[in-house]
Structure 1
């Protein structure tokens, strides 16, 4: 049984939204926020070069390069759609202590027992993403991108309070039941206090994150 999370500040406790609240505005291309232009260009040039090696006697190099760019774009779009299905739009209801993943899966906030920051080097510097995981569902929230915090004040208050009501804790293993080396055994995972702090005030790019790696 995990320990209860930190108590909300008085001004937050009296100004919590009621009913179902959408956490952030999730569009289908939101997951592309961490894909920089240089990454896209690199994938396109690399793909074009590889195709050029295979079809150098059949198709001219500029055509291969164009096809490589189009292929890179298609891969990014498909991977983004798959990611959106796996991590759908989150909604929270503080009146009933529930989280809804997309349009169908509704779980109790207490069922959420893990939080992690995806350890993806390509997006770590500019995009800060928080994943909330339960056995029945998982959601992903972009807290910050290269332009700054992504959540509006209402979503921030609702999400912070929802996280407080979860059972988030650092995972443990049979070889380390006390969790002494949990941050090394389970990279990217964070505890309840760190998750609440990240939601309330995501650090700007380049600033320290919780010891998640």
Structure 2
């Protein structure tokens, strides 16, 4: 895949720039099976509560919501704490998440999460990248309705990739990386990462990665 020329430094934003992150909820909620579970779980719990405590189904449903909502709230808070907001600074060539700061050159891995919505004929693409044991970031390259990033945001993400050291992981049993596509599904090289950032493939395009 060919690289596109980088924008001049004068065109890049100065200082710390916040990267809009793509959380797990967007992909989770639009997955058909998960959507069905989200709808059925409160109903089943409500029916169970109603039978167990001999109350109306409506009270059972309210009790089930009271049990389910805190669970999702805890999951959301854990995700926010585990993966804090990412920021980038092109003046200092650094990526920051929470209190951890690393040079952009320390970004060594990238993974593409892909979900095809066959009924809507759209493809959701989420790019995740970061340093080993350090800050990480996630960007939604193509949303649930097929929308892509604004040009200015694309330039920022592409420049991060250009200044990174992203490479597909290797193992001692596969030193040439011939089977990396199968050993590390979703992993990308720096050139391939830049390509999907600049040209996010649609559902009509060949899958850019092997999904486990």
Unaligned runs of 5+ in 1: none
Give the 5 Å matches for 1:68-107.
Answer: 68-102=64-98, 104-107=99-102
How far the C-alpha of 1:166 sits from its partner, in A, is: 0.9
Deviations 1:94-132 (A, max 9, x none): 222111114x2211111111100236789xx65321111
Does 127-136 or 146-155 show the bigger shift? 146-155
* Change in CA separation of 1:186 and 1:86 when aligned onto 2, cut-off 3 Å: same
**Equivalent residue, structure 2, for 1:117:** 112
How far the C-alpha of 1:7 sits from its partner, in A, is: 5.4
1:108 aligns with 2:103: yes
How far the C-alpha of 1:66 sits from its partner, in A, is: 4.0
**Equivalent residue, structure 2, for 1:211:** 209
- The SS at the match of 1:118 is strand
1:32 aligns with 2:25: yes
1:9 aligns with 2:5: yes
**Equivalent residue, structure 1, for 2:51:** 56
- The SS at the match of 1:117 is strand
Alignment partners' CA distance in 1, 2:205 and 2:46: 40
Does 50-59 or 134-143 show the bigger shift? 50-59
Cα root mean square deviation, aligned: 3.2
Alignment partners' CA distance in 1, 2:106 and 2:196: 20
**Equivalent residue, structure 2, for 1:187:** 185
**Equivalent residue, structure 2, for 1:145:** 143
Unaligned runs of 5+ in 2: none
Among 173, 197, 200, the residue aligned to 1:199: 197
* Change in CA separation of 1:111 and 1:189 when aligned onto 2, cut-off 3 Å: same
- The SS at the match of 1:68 is helix
How far the C-alpha of 1:158 sits from its partner, in A, is: 1.4
Alignment partners' CA distance in 2, 1:182 and 1:67: 48
Length, aligned pairs only: 202
Q: TM-score, normalised by structure 1?
A: 0.76
Alignment partners' CA distance in 2, 1:145 and 1:70: 31
